[in-house]
Amino acid sequence: MTKTFYKYQGTGNDFVVFDNRQMDFDKNNASFINRLCDRKYGIGADGLLLLEDSATTDFTMVYFNADGTLGSMCGNGGRCIVAFASFLGIVDTDTQFEAFDGLHKATITNGIVSLQMKHINNVEIHKDHIFLDTGSPHHVQCVDNVSDFDVDSIGRKIRYGAPYFETGANVNFVQVLSENTFKVRTYERGVEAETLSCGTGVTAVAIAMHATQQTSHNEILLHTEGGVLQVRFVNQGSNYNDVFLVGPAVQVFSGTIDIDKNV
C-alpha cells in the first residue's frame, strides 16, 4: 500500500506527517515509525505526527518520538500539525484540537502559528536547575556559554540520571542574552540527541526564567539553533495561564512511500 506523507519543520524541528483520518496507519509498529524517521534509511525526522478525526474538536494530534515510542505533547509538532490542518482545508485561521495533554487552541496567519500550551501551576526550583512539565517534562539549567556547551553528552547523563532515570526528561541549557531574550539548546528524550528546536522546551525555559526572576517580562524571545520562537503568558502568583508558543511552521516537501516494502 502506498501512502502520501508530508514533511514539516518548525524552527528546524522536523516531522513526518500523515493524514490518518482513515485510520490505516499502523500505530503499533514502533520499528516502522523509527525507520520512517531514520535520516539514512527513511524519510528523516525528529518525530512523526498523525492527524486524526475528533468527535469534539477539529482534529486529533498523535505524536511519536523518532525511536517509535508514543510521545507526550510536542509544541513545534503542534504548530506544524495546525499548518497541516490548514493545508488540508480542515481549519481556516482558528482551531481547537486534541493532543496527549488535552485540548489546545491555535491560530495561523501567514504561516505563523500561535499555539496555546497547557497551564502551568508547578515550577520546581532547585539549587542548580528548574523542573516543570509543559506537556512534556523539562529540566532547565543555566550555563555561561551555551554555544560551546556539550549538549549531547551532558544532556544524556542528566536525561538518564537521578531523579529521571528511564522515564527521562528533556534537558534544556539556557544562556541569558538580554532581559527578555534567551538562547536555548535542548537534548530531547525519544530522539536521544540535540534537536535544532523544542517547543515545549522553550516554553519551559521562558517560564523557568520568569519564576526564578531572571526576567520580569511575560513576552519572551527564545533563540534556538533552528530559529527564534516567542513565548507569552499571564502570570498570577505561582500560576502561568494563557501560555502561547508562537513561530513559523513550514511544509518542506511531500511524497509517497510503499508501506508494505518499509514495514
Residues 66-91 pLDDT 10s? 999 999 999 999 999 999 999 999 99
Q: Please give the average per-residue pLDDT across 105-117, as a whole number.
A: 98
In tens, the pLDDT along 214-258 reads: 999 999 999 999 999 999 999 999 999 999 999 999 999 999 998
Q: pTM for the whole thing?
A: 0.96
Q: Which domains does the chain have, with CATH numbers?
A: 2-116+249-262 (3.10.310.10), 124-245 (3.10.310.10)
φ/ψ of residue 50, rounded to 5: -120, 130
Does residue 186 have a pLDDT over 70?
yes
Q: Pairing relation of β-strands 13-19 and 2-10?
A: antiparallel
Cα–Cα distance, 154 to 20 (Å, whole number): 37
Nearest to 249 by CA among 103, 52, 78, 49: 78
Q: Which residues are known to be catalytic? A: 74, 198
The per-residue pLDDT for 169 is 96
Cα–Cα distance, 171 to 248 (Å, whole number): 23
Half-sphere exposure of 9 (CA within 13 A, CB side): 14
Q: What is the 3-state secondary structure (H, E, C) of 161-193?
A: CCCCCCCCCEEEEEEEEECCEEEEEEEECCCCE
Beta bridge mates, 15: 8, 47
